[in-house]
Amino acid sequence: MFSSLRSRLWLSYALLISVSIGVVAVTLLVAFLRNPLVYRSGLPRLKEAINTVTPQLEKAIPQGMKAVEEELQMASRRTGLRYLLISSPGKLFYDSGKGQEGGIALLALRRIILNENEVPSGLYRDQNGKRWLYLSQRLPEGMILVVAMPTRDLPLNILIRNEMVMPVVLAGLCGLGLSVVLALAMGAWIARPLQKMQKEAAQLAEGKAVGVSEEGPQEVRELAHSLNEMMRKVQAGQRAQRDFIANVSHDLKTPLTAIQGFAQAILDGTAQSPETLRNAATVIYNGASRMYRLVLDLLTLARFDAGTADLVFEKVDPQDLLRETVRRFSPLAQKAGVILRLEDASLPVLFADGERLMQALANLMDNALKYTPAGGTIVLRGKVEEGHLLLEVQDTGKGISPEEQTRIFERFYRGNPSRSQDGEQSSGLGLPIVREILRAHGGEVRLYSEVGKGSCFTLVLPLQGSEVHREHQGGKRE
């Protein structure tokens, strides 16, 4: 019955308000059962009686106790109240109700003696169960006057009919009714955006590309915003998965088609001459090598995504990495007619995975050679800035447009093939691998490029705190 949020909100409001009204009602009922009304109405009468008789007693006390008793007898007959006169030690001099309800004097004496610094008053039930309202007043010469009047408990029906009880009861009922209405309105106000969100989320589950409305209270808006962000990431992941399958299929299909075709030619006997067989073997080898590199790149990215990439951190000389990169790519640069230059510098020792950094530099060099025309220049340099080591690969190629720069580190993104010197597109995995390697080292890769002037890729590595990345260290590289 109360399974929905709206009904539970309404029930919680109703219970809260009902409990509050119930506590107030019980408090009022207990207060009336203790006769506060009798107390408030009888006390002025006792005060008036004391104020009237006190001046007379002050005049009679010097004349003796007989004169005092006569004054008190006259006051008792005139007011119908009970008068007691006692001394501070507790001796009773006079009681107008002596022989009738003598039990009240004992309490009055005790209460007065224990409260010497104040004027006592209150309710008292004597030995016979009778309730008394009393008030005392100190007189000259250590005398204490006590005036008392009997009270009685009012029946419950009289209390309920009291002019103060009924308005309170009616006000409570009106407040309860109004609170129920407000609880229903507030429950609907809070639950409405959640119900709308639930319907829109159900449409998302059915595959409909609709967003969740970000409205309602702040917490609901934040929840809707989180759902929209999650939806966008899921959709982006789905698109990336579709693109991944399509790109991998395309990159594998081309070499596989060539391998299958030339292998079939060899099996059919079409390729019989030594030159034809050598050509077929070359195509098959190049196609297999291309697929092997693609599989290795995919495996590398998968390991970085899963956090299982084996990085062996050790002390590395960054200048040695740059020299080794120049040594490896010098033959390719000479073949392409590109000038490859290294700027020597004194660089600090770095705690890093040297082979992974070499892989990152090699990927950047592949791109630089691919997009730098003959006669161009590629410069490798290292420097230190603000506690970071910077390894730069700068070329004088055609440059990268601002639109491509925003996507160049996306997986399988292929730039404009016209920038390449051979017109061949890459797999689109080299730069994403570079970025993952730098992230594993706590660094980043930066790009600065101008169309027509060239590009500069910078590997930014922290010099301090690189030990925190040892969690990637597997101790042994496969």
pLDDT at 469: 47
- Residue 311 class from Cβ within 10 Å (0-12 exposed, 13-18 middle, 19+ buried)? buried
pLDDT at 99: 61
pLDDT at 447: 93
pLDDT at 285: 87
pLDDT at 470: 45
pLDDT at 356: 92
Q: How far apart are CA 108 and CA 87, in angstroms?
A: 12
pLDDT at 472: 46
pLDDT at 475: 47
The ranges of the chain with pLDDT < 50 are: 102, 423, 466-476, 478
pLDDT at 468: 42
Residues 427 and 442: beta-carbon distance below 8 Å: no
pLDDT at 467: 44
